[in-house]
Structure 1
Amino acid sequence: MAREVQITFDCGDPAKLAAFWAEALHYRLDGPPPGFESWEQALDAWDVPPERRNDASAVVDPDGSGPRLFFQRVPEGKQAKNRVHLDLRAAPGLSGEARMAALESEADRLVSHGATRLHRQDPAAPLHLGHIIMADPEGNEFCLD
């Protein structure tokens, strides 16, 4: 039996990073726990002080097929290049100029939401179809593939 997977990001601003990745992946913010109409209501009931209310956030695939992404506040900033990164499949089935145009369009969209464009790798036959390396608002690298 396959295990369910959650991908966890250490970060400085969980709410901001969750909002970015929800936009990037077409996910939605995780809903409040059962019995609560909102996260504010749950946090009030649990007596979570205002300064701790952005300690964590999560986003989920609205279809339920993709992994949950969890964002947790940590005191230290990003130190080096990611050892693991996400590839966003922004141009499946496309090749050549059509592929790179689709990747460029998605890169522009994500930059408007706080991403940074780092590098474009153009196609190099026969195996490499081209991709764009990006960084999320906290500098975590990911690829548009």
Structure 2
Amino acid sequence: MSLIKQIQVTFDCAEPERVARFWCEVLGYVVPPTPEGFATWDDFTRSLPAEQRDAWFACTDPSGVGPRLYFQRVPEGKVVKNRVHLDVRTATGLVGEERLATLEAECARLVALGAVHVRTLVADEENESCIVMQDVEGNEFCLD
């Protein structure tokens, strides 16, 4: 029996490149190299049939550790809450005021990139603080 060694996280979206570039900034990911024979991604895109242009985009962890993120254009918009979301581990190991300050600083950076701050969940007896956010197309994620 073979073990799965890698996963890819796929996002349905309206503007794949825009959403991919947002997540590159959030996570420090990079756009993969262009396909062989093309100097730029624009050159590659222009080579495709019109209906396939801007249909997808991807980004990868430059260290090769994290999963590839794949963004595919779909005709319908987001209607309800995500069933799966990413936790962006910004404040791992931090607690109390230090954790909250770190989360708030990252929240401000991401809002400047186009994210939306939904709500801050302050620590209680069971859970540490986290911040619920949305990316540039409304997909929920948490700063944790």
TM-score (norm 1): 0.92
Shift, 1:71, TM fit: 0.5
Aligned to 1:132: 131
Give the structure 2 partner of residue 13 of structure 1. 15
Residues 73 and 47 of structure 1, relative CA distance in 2, 3 Å threshold? closer
Q: In 2, Cα distance between the equivalents of 1:39 and 1:18?
A: 13
CA RMSD of aligned residues (A): 1.4
Query: How many residues of Structure 1 are paired with residues of Structure 2 in the alignment?
Result: 142
Q: Distance in 2 between matches of 1:35 and 1:76?
A: 33
What is the distance in 2 between the residues matched to 1:15 and 1:2?
A: 28
CA distance in 1, matches of 2:141, 2:116: 10
The equivalent of 1:71 in structure 2 is 71
Q: Among 2, 5, 15, which residue is 1:3 paired with? A: 5
Alignment map for 1:25-40 (pairs within 5 Å): 25-40=27-42
Report if aligned partners of 2:100, 2:130 keep a CA contact under 8 Å in 1: yes
CA deviation string 1:29-76 (max 9, x = no partner): 1221233322223334x4433x64211100100101000000011110
TM-score between the two structures when normalised by the length of structure 2: 0.92
Q: Deviations over 1:107-130 (max 9, x none)?
A: 0000000000001000112x3011
Structure 1's consecutive aligned runs of 4 or more residues displaced over 4 angstroms after TM superposition are: none
Unaligned runs of 5+ in 2: none
After the TM superposition, which residues 84-103 of structure 1 pair with which residues of structure 2 at under 5 Å, given as runs? 84-103=84-103
Q: 2-side partners of 1:111 and 1:67: how far apart?
A: 24
SS of structure 2 residue aligned to 1:30: coil
Unaligned runs of 5+ in 1: none
User: Counterparts of 2:48 and 2:99 in 1: how far apart (Å)?
Assistant: 50
Partner of 2:116: 116
CA distance in structure 1 between the partners assigned to 2:48 and 2:35 by the alignment: 15
Secondary structure, in 3 states, of the residue corresponding to 1:107? helix
CA contact (8 A) 2:132 2:141 kept: yes
Residue 21 of structure 2 aligns to a residue whose secondary structure is helix
Query: Alpha-carbon deviations, 1:69-112, whole Å to 9, x = none?
Result: 00011110001000000000000111100000000000000000
Identity %: 48
